[in-house]
Amino acid sequence: MTTLSPEEIERYKRHLLVKDIGGQGQQRLKAARVLIVGAGGLGSPLLMYLAAAGVGALGIIDDDRVSLGNLQRQVAYRTDDIGALKTDRAAALVHALNPHVEVEAMPFRLTAENALAVVSRYDIVADGSDNFATRYLVNDACYFAMKPLVFAALGQMEGYVSTFRAYEMDESGTPRPSYRDLFPEPPAPGEIPTCEEAGVLGPVAGVIGTLQAVEVVKSILGLEGTLVGRLLIYDALVGRFQTIALKWDANNPLTGLAPSIRDLSIHAADSEQRA
């Protein structure tokens, strides 16, 4: 197992005191490789906390550049970063925060053609994308690559977090739910506005991105109580958390009894439209 240097022992000593982490847990974090899809409002706190926690390698994929309108919620960036590639600035921040973390900056979109190859190189995927096409693509790629997916999304004043391991069976022999069990079909274009169109309270992104980071760390450590089969909902307006159970749908086109999705070719048209 990966060993910790004296400097790392000092850096992570507050982790080492936690009985559910300790030295072995910190070594697992150092050995882990996590792919972050989207370096925006969710990706900002996510990448900072994963880097600070000592996750050994982070992949950050996002083809966008920093804009003034990002800064209200995307706390990984500064005013001087406007116009720069988000992945470049995010990678620089990770290096500054923790030089022990390797970073791969990928300033391009995840597509039907590259998703499986990219996802397969990581142990866990954390999706903080802001569009349905990417969410379905990431979900399906993680299923075919057999990688855990920690999903998060935002509304104006609410947020959602879950973990999908749809390639596994539960104790009863039933497939675990996937994103397609939460949302069987993507909404019609324009039916549900994006954060850019509808707006979002900036600190809500911080809450949900941080909860997503917690879920990633728990998954790496193999701790009980992850959000597999459950959706955590945060309502900032009333200050309430609630968790609802998710169930596998036998008609799910990906994991159902008669699956129609056999590969990622179903996403090819979406990838062309987003290019």
Q: Give 64-120 pLDDT, tens digit per residue.
A: 999 999 999 999 999 999 999 999 999 999 999 999 999 999 999 999 999 999 999
pLDDT of residue 195: 67
- Range 226-237 average pLDDT: 97
| 244 domain-assigned | yes
Total structural domains within the chain: 1
Mean pLDDT lowest among 30-44, 97-111, 184-198: 184-198
Asked, for residue 163, whether it belongs to a domain, the answer is: yes
pTM above 0.85, yes or no: yes
Domain holding 40: CATH number? 3.40.50.720
Output the CA–CA distances (angstroms, integers) from residue 109 to 89, 115, 150, 183, in the order listed: 17, 9, 19, 22
Higher pLDDT residue, 75 or 188? Answer: 75
7 inside domain: no
Q: How far apart are CA 24 and CA 2, in angstroms?
A: 9
Assigned domain for 121 exists = yes
Backbone angles phi, psi at 243, to 5 degrees: -125, 130
User: Which pLDDT value is given to residue 272?
Assistant: 56
Scan for tokens 């990448």, then name that residue.
Answer: 47
184 band by pLDDT with thresholds 50, 70 and 90: confident
CA distance 146 to 132: 21
* Structural domain of 125: 16-183+190-274
